Chain A
């Protein structure tokens, strides 16, 4: 693979992982416009452990994930008091505060950025990404995934049916934080340099858009959304600005034509049904 494509695949892995971190709260009905804040915490934690403490990568990435998860757990309690537009604004405010703090911390190089010692190649990043995808697909198939869907569709009815809605939401938010931490660690080790300016509102916005355009009903939505919007610009041979204009037009059109997202539950069931029916007719023929 050429260096150009290696770079693109690395970005793709990062986008997929961060998309899943936003997907988990979204699947439980919470819009998180603060992904960049969590990613920044993960990136700086793993960078610090790698450069200053000198830990190996197999330690820095999990610790960064756990640290980010801990932050997400702690702020989930005040955060989940809010809902709807308020939640969007509160998560946005959180990300801006994280950015404001890191840009003033001298031990992390402030605005100049922070170098990271260990370098992660694709053969480390890609398996991690695949593990994250498999984990979320598995999670959505469990009882917990079902309660997340129930809370997303109707919180009141879900709690009437015995779902612990508060626990479900806190767990979804915390797991989202853990995955965002992994995403941040991937970024730190891939680029060997962490600059807070990258983890801005634009990153949060784009990631939320990947998830919402991909669809929040199934665990495949964020994957499709992230792949589509990461690779599409590479195939559009126009200037960078026009790419963004096309991206915006696609978002507006998608909301008009298919607001539930590219991948829906019905689509996935139909896709599975394709194989099932074939199997059944084979049995009937016999």
Chain B
């Protein structure tokens, strides 16, 4: 029974990892860009929401404000990394440049939050403290369950959007070949920001759900989650959305199980070991190569 309870909490935290992993995998698959600002966007969402509640904003509005801030920050990142490189070199994916700029933005965002909101761990005044749902002896947090369902629904909607809609087709054509997409009449400069809006929304909503469920927030809260999400992305194969979903859940389960059986200190080794092993042995991920992009690596 205890194991089953652990399984459930693994799936719950896995839902958060899934959203962040999808944000990572989307930018890699579409733009061949490992976007290190995602942990900062995740953190911005939670910390800005907390900052807004301290000045008396209602918690729901504050959370929306956090997500909006993350999305806006993501657009700023697009302006100074991807778009600039593309205008200047004709191809933004060639070098490590966007990766380095995104590390720069990660440092900027984290330390701006430290300057403005302080470095102390805070507690978000979450309205759901004891909304549990008992199934026999199992305890299921209702907000956590809603989060998991919401996370999966958003990712499902995203994959439908990519497959069916006009914008989705344009996005996939850019992933295939930006130059050919331009020749076919896709306006790259209007479509690429959409990827960053989606990234910002995904990371922001994940940050919001994390803040609502666990309430413990600080300026570095994104780093840990992003590390797990990267592991999930690699397990699923870079650029593969459904792989990222499975990978995120696998990482959540592995983490909870490793903590349960071996203690919290050792949790790094199984997760990163799994990641390294998959990178070396099967770089396309566990589920074969069905990436959105053409796999430019």
> Which residues of the partner chain A approach B110 to less than 8 Å between Cβ atoms?
244
A256 interfacial by beta-carbon distance below 8 Å? yes
Beyond A94-B276, A97-B272, A244-B110, list 11 extra A-B contacts (CB 8 Å).
Answer: A81-B283, A88-B99, A90-B276, A100-B269, A241-B115, A244-B114, A248-B106, A248-B107, A249-B104, A251-B103, A256-B101
CB neighbors of A among B75-109 (8 A): 80-81, 84-85, 95-101, 103-108
Give the complex CA separation of A249 and B99 in angstroms: 14
A268 interfacial by beta-carbon distance below 8 Å? no
CB neighbors of B among A66-111 (8 A): 78-79, 81-86, 88-90, 93-94, 96-97, 99-101, 103-104, 110-111
A27 to chain B, nearest CB (A): 13
If over half of B's interface residues share one DSSP class (helix, strand or loop), that class is named, otherwise mixed; here it is: helix
CB neighbors of A among B250-271 (8 A): 265-269
Q: Across the two chains, which residue of chain A brings its CB closest to B89?
A: A259
Interface size classification for chain A: 35 or more
A selection of 28 A-B contacts at a CB cut-off of 8 Å is A89-B279, A90-B276, A90-B279, A93-B275, A93-B276, A97-B269, A100-B266, A100-B267, A103-B268, A104-B265, A209-B104, A239-B115, A244-B110, A245-B107, A245-B108, A248-B106, A248-B111, A249-B108, A250-B104, A251-B101, A251-B104, A252-B80, A252-B105, A255-B98, A256-B80, A259-B85, A259-B95, A259-B97
Decide: B101 and A244 in contact? CB cutoff 8 A: no
* A residues apposed to B, CB below 8 Å: 31, 78-79, 81-86, 88-90, 93-94, 96-97, 99-101, 103-104, 110-111, 201, 205, 208-209, 212-213, 239, 241-242, 244-245, 247-252, 255-256, 259
> Which residues of the partner chain A approach B105 to less than 8 Å between Cβ atoms?
248, 252
Per-residue CB proximity of B210-232 to A under 8 Å, as 1/0? Answer: 00000000000001000100100
Give the complex CA separation of A83 and B273 in angstroms: 18
Give the complex CA separation of A99 and B276 in angstroms: 14
> Which residues of the partner chain A approach B272 to less than 8 Å between Cβ atoms?
93, 96-97, 100
B295 to chain A, nearest CB (A): 11
* B residues apposed to A, CB below 8 Å: 28, 32, 34, 80-81, 84-85, 95-101, 103-108, 110-112, 114-115, 223, 227, 230, 234, 238, 265-269, 272-273, 275-276, 279-280, 283, 297
Give the complex CA separation of A249 and B115 in angstroms: 15
Give the complex CA separation of A252 and B266 in angstroms: 36
Q: Across the two chains, which residue of chain A brings its CB closest to B108?
A: A248
Q: Across the two chains, which residue of chain B brings its CB closest to A247?
A: B107
A103 to chain B, nearest CB (A): 6
The 3 closest A-B pairs by CB, nearest first: A251-B104, A100-B268, A248-B108
Decide: B297 and A103 in contact? CB cutoff 8 A: no
Q: Across the two chains, which residue of chain B brings its CB closest to A103?
A: B265
